[in-house]
Chain A
Amino acid sequence: MKDIRLMKGNEAIAEGVIRAGCDGYFGYPITPQSEVLEYLMMNKPEERTGMIVLQAESEIASIHMVYGGAGCGKRVMTSSSSPGISLMQEGISFLAGTELPCLLLNVVRGGPGLGTIQPSQSDYFQAVKGGGHGDYKMIVLAPASVQEMYDFAKLGFELAFKHRIQVMVLSDGAIGQMMEKVELDEQVPRLTDEEIAIKYPWATLGKPTTRERNIITSLDLDPVKQEKINIHLQEKFRHIEQTEVRFESFMCEDAEYLFVAYGSSARVCQKAIQLGRAKGIKVGLLRPITLFPYPTQEIARLSKQVKGILSVEMSAGQMVEDVRLAANGAVPVEHYGRLGGIIPAPDEVLNVLEEKFIAKNNHGRSAN
């Protein structure tokens, strides 16, 4: 029988990491994601699988605890929301420089500053372009449902260890807080210490006489060597761009107009498409699931098919830059978003599409 439950997004990913064989969670409370730590504490994963859960004294401590655990080849994670993720950036950069796999969850809230606890998508640049210092990338997964919050726990760890990279699940307050049905899968067993030693020969587990010592460091004072390390990292990111792009297309086959949106905004756009199609407007949705690597080629292909692209994001316009780069001038690209924690309504989004592209085509001028 299927194990189906009604869960909050934050609870679903917490259950997801336990079942994905996570070894350790380190985190600090912040709205709108405190349910992750609360759920883990309540569900006693130490008794279920041996997974360790620790409430740290800050997000800075959390991310460096993750670093310590990841350096030992363990499946470790932290979660937070925007201000906390900002605090972690130095640590994330260290994880990138040492190529340590881990899972990070950002349930985004509106900023800047303390901002609001309501949902937002204004951390796209920070997640996708590298919020910390140095040339690095993380794999960024954008869930649009509670089921995906659950699924991306396992997928996230798989990708993290496959590429020795940090995987960030970039969610938002709406996906984190809303309840939907979730289909749970089987428990993945945690790796034993012997399995870790074999699978991850780089891990610091104590130096046996049979190998050289393992060192986890991002430091190399010799610029020639440091450049080599950086080139290696860039090659890895290019390889990920070739192999790990994920997206979902919705009613794109005959589309004359295209929404590009992820997470909560993608759900709004799906509804807007229904309203638009009812009015005879042929509009589709391209939903990036990976924000890095970005579905650039698919957007480039669609930009030759459609007459206009509207990038919808609860921000002042961050992802739109990547949509424009992908379209590369082939078609007009516009942005629409609400700020401060407001989720746009489907008819509002459709109106914008009509105003920006359709009214313009009909009257030969902008309707603005």
Chain B
Amino acid sequence: MEDQLTKEFICQPENLVYERTHLLTENALSYCPGCGHGTAHRLLMEVIEEMGLQENTIGVAPVGCSVLAYDFMNIDMQQAAHGRAPAVATGIKRLFPNKTVFTYQGDGDLAAIGTGETIHACNRGENITVIFVNNGIYGMTGGQMAPTTLPGMKTATSPFGRDTKSMGYPLKITELVAQLGGTYYVTRQSVHTPANVRKAKKAIEKAISYQKLDKGLCFVEIVSNCNSGWKMTPLDSNVWMEENMFPFYPLGDIKVPK
């Protein structure tokens, strides 16, 4: 028996319990080890694959660490200018109402430079899905302050901590868009534990499947770590996230279909 437990013996089709989605390319992820972006990519691609939507989906990549999302997602994609992904997705979806269209954006992209496009795409009720990775910092450009940076949090451009008096308050854009008539489903998730990964995947599934109903924009925030920008080990960053980010950005559904 024991000498049968070889690699060849174990790796048989009938023993398969989990497989990497074919909608992720073979390219090595450019993300820092420990970063949540990779998990978020995987969940999104798993959902598209499981729903059989590869041939029907057009994704929009942002400017930010995930600018190269199209290197990793094996679907047709467009790379948008910084903050403009919701406008690009609007252009696609209006011309192809039957396609599945999503944007994948960071907090600087979605809640600073692109606030206008975010709010108006939500308010018009564009039938798209927005995946919003909120790590409280500008990862790509080297850890500067983001609109979502917590009070007192140190970044490259708030080296003594975010002073709300001069730098303003972190923007809860997800709560904000939930108020708008055009959003249909708004939720906040995380991908830092297996349990959270499962919940986040469910949320993405809903957000993608609701597109067919033509009822409005679905918005999935993923509170995530930026271990490099926060200057922590991946493990420490997840603990810090639980202790500091979650109290301010509580997980859970914010707007659910009636």
Task: Give A contacts to B, CB under 8 Å.
Answer: 23-24, 26, 52, 54, 56-58, 60-62, 64-72, 74, 76, 90-91, 94, 193, 204-209, 213-219
Report chain A residues within 8 Å CB of B91.
24, 26, 64-72, 76
Which residue of chain A is the closest to B25 with respect to CB atoms? A213
Report chain A residues within 8 Å CB of B60.
68
* Interface residue? B220 (CB, 8 A): no
Task: Name A94's contact: one of B55, B56, B77, B81 (CB within 8 Å).
Answer: B81
Interface string of B88-109 (1 = CB under 8 A from A): 1111101110010000000000
Report chain A residues within 8 Å CB of B96.
72, 193, 205
User: Whole-angstrom distance between the alpha carbons of A216 and B59 in the complex?
Assistant: 10
* Interface residue? B173 (CB, 8 A): no
Report chain A residues within 8 Å CB of B61.
217
- Of the stretches B67-75, B192-200, B210-218, B247-255, the one at the interface is B67-75
CB distance from A132 to the nearest CB of B (A): 10
* Interface residue? B57 (CB, 8 A): yes
Report chain B residues within 8 Å CB of A60.
84, 87, 116-117
User: Whole-angstrom distance between the alpha carbons of A180 and B58 in the complex?
Assistant: 44
* Interface residue? B228 (CB, 8 A): no
3 A-B pairs with least C-beta separation: A68-B91, A65-B91, A64-B87
Interface size on B, as a range, is: 20 to 34
Contact B90 A54 (CB under 8 A): yes
* Interface residue? B39 (CB, 8 A): no
User: Whole-angstrom distance between the alpha carbons of A62 and B55 in the complex?
Assistant: 27
Report chain B residues within 8 Å CB of A66.
91
Contact A61 B117 (CB under 8 A): yes
* Interface residue? B78 (CB, 8 A): yes
CB distance from B3 to the nearest CB of A (A): 41
CB distance from A18 to the nearest CB of B (A): 15
Contact A61 B58 (CB under 8 A): no
Contact A57 B117 (CB under 8 A): yes
CB pairs A–B below 8 angstroms (14 shown): A52-B94, A52-B95, A54-B94, A60-B84, A64-B117, A65-B87, A68-B80, A72-B96, A205-B76, A205-B96, A206-B54, A215-B79, A218-B79, A219-B68
Report chain A residues within 8 Å CB of B68.
219
Contact B55 A208 (CB under 8 A): yes
Report chain B residues within 8 Å CB of A61.
84, 87, 90, 116-117, 120
Contact B90 A206 (CB under 8 A): no
Query: Contacts A61-B120, A207-B74, A214-B76 hold; do A56 and B87 have CB atoms under 8 A apart?
Result: yes
Contact B94 A65 (CB under 8 A): yes
